Amino acid sequence: MTTMQTSRPTKPATTAGGRAFNFGAGPSVLPEEVIKQIQQDIWNYAGAGMGILELSHRGKHYDQIVADVDCDLREIGSIPANYKILFMTGGATGQNWLVPANLLPIGGTGDYIVTGYWAEGSVKDAQQYCQGANPTASIHVAANSADQKHSYIPSDEQTKYSAKPAYVHMTSSNTIYGTQWRGRLPNAPAGAPLICDASSDIFSEPIDITKFGVLYGGAQKNLGTTGATFVIIRDDLIEMGHKHIPRMTQYRTYAKDESRPNTPPHFAIYTVGLMAKWIKKQGGLAKLGQINRDKAGVIYKALDDNQGFWLSHAREADRSLMNITFRAKGGDALDEKFMTEAKAASCDGLKGHRATGGMRASLYNAFPAEGADVLADLIRDFAQKNG
């Protein structure tokens, strides 16, 4: 972490060791105790005489890491025995084509609910995959919130499914626009499994895995660092997956071989393991969900208390707990000024995506509650001083 330029501190830096409050959307903040563990393990992993980065992915230390991460994630997410937890590479973006490559039958239709930037990418890649490799298949956009700049989650009435979708694809939290499916899910036609890009909110609160056929995402937001893509998938979907595609693109390859058919991103998977143990230590998802609701709550309250000054992008009922998007009503110059002052107060990574402008505060699992309090104070103070 580079040292902060704190020439004009508005508040004493409350972070430890020169570290900023990292509101970045991903890669994102890790818990301090996880980082300290990694520091040790990079030098000498559990007395192995070599560091985690250097350990064989076939040795007994890595065997234990694989067993633990599976067991701990199952426990945290109450993941039933008929689901596998796979680790792949290529990120959530790679799943854009791996999902149809595995799960879209010849001549079948995949339905997509488009709620933001990443969902648009999922449609594009699925279409492109079909054109090249499964030309009788089709991609159907069942709903699209682009008409209002993806500021809301479509209702059941606004969603028109195809006659017989092979699956329904959704994005649980829209990292760039700051909306999230809260307390409801798409009412997919019977027999169509829900496939969810859960990159931005996996294991941020209790979840009923049985409502989904597949949940996937990059680990670098809520579950660790870059390099590992988690895929939580029901056994029957692994089974029905196409067999005519290369081995490294088939889910069954990873299911059969503990996600190590070749050299896996073992450092990233090890980090997921540390995050899983950390989540357990926090008291599991019920407790973590409460903490995450509180963190988002203080910031939304600061914005709502100053509605004359700040504009929240997401419709209130669909606000994400993970990514808060907002901007000053007075224009871009105020946004810039706010971010400069926030940075001086150790709040970094607030710049919004170029699709939305303004600010985005990402509050993933490891983001500390004090950081949310500091930002909420800044939001209030800034509105009072500049309003």
Ligand X SMILES: *Cc1c(COP(=O)(O)O)cnc(C)c1O
| Nearer CB in complex with ligand X: 200/204 | 200
Q: What is the DSSP string of 236-282?
A: HHHHHS-SSS-GGG-HHHHHHTTT-SS---HHHHHHHHHHHHHHHHH
218 forms part of the interface with ligand X (CB under 6 A)? yes
89 forms part of the interface with ligand X (CB under 6 A)? no
Least Å from the CB of residue 335 to ligand X: 22
Active site residue 310: no
DSSP annotation of 284: H
Closest CA to 316 of 147, 195, 179, 171: 179
Closest CA to 165 of 182, 147, 188: 188
CB atoms within 10 A of CB 75: 13
Instruction: Pick the catalytic residue from 41, 72, 125, 197.
Output: 197
Order of strands across the sheet with 310-312? 310-312, 323-328, 359-362
Q: Strand, helix or coil at 143?
A: strand
Closest CA to 254 of 132, 366, 89, 118: 89
Active site residue 97: no
Q: Are 199 and 175 in contact (CB under 8 A)?
A: yes
| Nearer CB in complex with ligand X: 268/291 | 268
Among 34, 69, 85, 92, binds ligand X (CB under 6 A): 92
Among 134, 151, 179, 199, binds ligand X (CB under 6 A): 199
Q: What is the DSSP string of 364-375?
A: -TTS-HHHHHHH
Active site residue 221: yes
| Nearer CB in complex with ligand X: 215/372 | 215
| Nearer CB in complex with ligand X: 91/110 | 91
Instruction: Give me the 20-59 binding string for ligand X, x by CB under 6 A, dash otherwise.
Output: ------x---------------------------------
| Nearer CB in complex with ligand X: 10/93 | 93
Among 175, 259, 271, 312, binds ligand X (CB under 6 A): 175
Among 93, 128, 159, 282, binds ligand X (CB under 6 A): 93
Return the residues of window 113-172 that contact ligand X according to CB under 6 A: 118, 171
Which residues sit at the interface with ligand X, rule CB under 6 A? 26, 91-93, 118, 171, 175, 197, 199-200, 218
Residue positions annotated with a catalytic role: 118, 197, 221
